[in-house]
């Protein structure tokens, strides 16, 4: 079985391609007013958790990458996740995420490919001190993917965030999210909980590392738990590269994934 669905995922991919066609010096401040230094990129990837901080207000920030996942039942999933972020102020913003392309190969060798579900998320930041903040996200995920690649329904998520700078130049992001699923299996709960706790640290002006524990819980379904480790490289203030891997912590589980990607400030809107 093979299916490809267009719509919003295709539009997002087209926008990303168009942003790549901007002059190469755009990310270094050519699209900013004369005399303005470009702000820094604010990556949310590659961790599961998101920070309370938003991207630079007025700028379109793009995250894109590749992910290869393998599960203990022998199935494989490859995808190209893409996220567009826009902050209106330091405390309010939105983002749109999808898989520009994904391919699932099940244990029997049957394949399906196409775009992913599309999530639209609104975000509010609540500053506590200069070194800490709460965040609240609310979003809807729309079934724009072939059924085997997505949830098959419109799902609503609320995510609570706490972020803080810690002694020793460490930073932590803690997330607790509840997703109300539209389509569920008989005998299972409609609400899925996700928790994630990350700890990151810059090694120098360019290199950084992050480690994270995360998992999901839903009544009637086996829970998940994973450990993620990644490195990041600041190619410039406006461009950050990352790469890493994740592995299941469940006994007997052999789920694992590898990924790499980029976050960059693509263009200034206002």
| 179-188 confidence digits (pLDDT tens) | 999 999 999 9
Residue 245, C-beta contacts closer than 8 angstroms, at least 6 positions apart: 228, 229, 230, 256, 257, 258, 259
Q: What is the C-alpha to C-alpha distance for residues 126 and 107, in angstroms, rounded to an integer? A: 45
Dump pLDDT digits (tens) for 16-60: 444 444 434 444 444 455 456 779 999 999 999 999 999 999 999
Q: What is the C-alpha to C-alpha distance for residues 254 and 256, in angstroms, rounded to an integer? A: 6
pLDDT in tens, the chain (270 residues): 333 344 444 444 454 444 444 434 444 444 455 456 779 999 999 999 999 999 999 999 999 999 999 998 889 999 999 999 999 999 999 999 999 999 999 988 899 999 999 999 999 999 999 999 999 999 999 999 998 899 999 999 999 999 999 999 999 999 999 999 999 999 999 999 999 999 999 999 999 999 999 999 999 999 999 999 999 999 999 999 999 999 999 877 789 999 999 999 999 999
User: Do residues 210 and 198 make contact, with C-beta atoms less than 8 angstroms apart?
Assistant: yes
Question: For the chain, which residues make up each domain, given as ranges?
Answer: 8-268
The domain 8-268: what is its CATH number? 2.40.160.40
């Amino acid at each position: 079985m093979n299916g490809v669905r267009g719509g919003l995922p295709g539009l997002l991919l087209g926008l990303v391609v168009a942003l790549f066609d901007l002059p190469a010096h755009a990310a270094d401040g050519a699209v900013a007013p004369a005399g303005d230094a470009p702000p820094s990129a604010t990556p949310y990837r590659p961790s599961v958790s998101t920070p309370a901080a938003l991207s630079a207000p007025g700028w379109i920030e793009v995250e894109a990458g590749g992910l290869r996942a393998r599960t203990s039942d022998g199935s494989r999933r490859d995808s190209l996740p893409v996220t567009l972020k826009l902050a209106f102020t330091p405390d309010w913003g939105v983002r749109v995420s999808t898989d520009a392309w994904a391919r699932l190969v099940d244990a029997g060798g049957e394949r399906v490919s196409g775009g992913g579900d599309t999530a639209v998320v609104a975000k509010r930041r609540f500053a506590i001190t200069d070194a800490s903040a709460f965040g609240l996200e609310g979003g809807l995920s729309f079934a724009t993917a072939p059924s085997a690649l997505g949830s098959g329904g419109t799902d609503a998520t609320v995510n609570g965030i706490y972020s803080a700078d810690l002694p020793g130049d460490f930073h932590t992001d803690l997330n607790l999210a509840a997703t109300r699923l539209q389509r569920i299996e008989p005998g299972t709960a409609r609400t899925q909980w996700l928790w994630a706790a990350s700890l990151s640290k810059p090694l120098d002006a360019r290199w950084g590392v992050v480690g994270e524990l995360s998992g999901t819980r839903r009544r009637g379904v086996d829970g998940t738990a994973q450990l993620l480790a990644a490195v990041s490289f600041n190619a410039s203030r406006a461009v950050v590269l990352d790469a890493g891997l994740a592995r299941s912590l469940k006994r007997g589980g052999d789920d694992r994934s590898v990924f790499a990607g980029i976050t960059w400030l693509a263009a200034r809107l206002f």
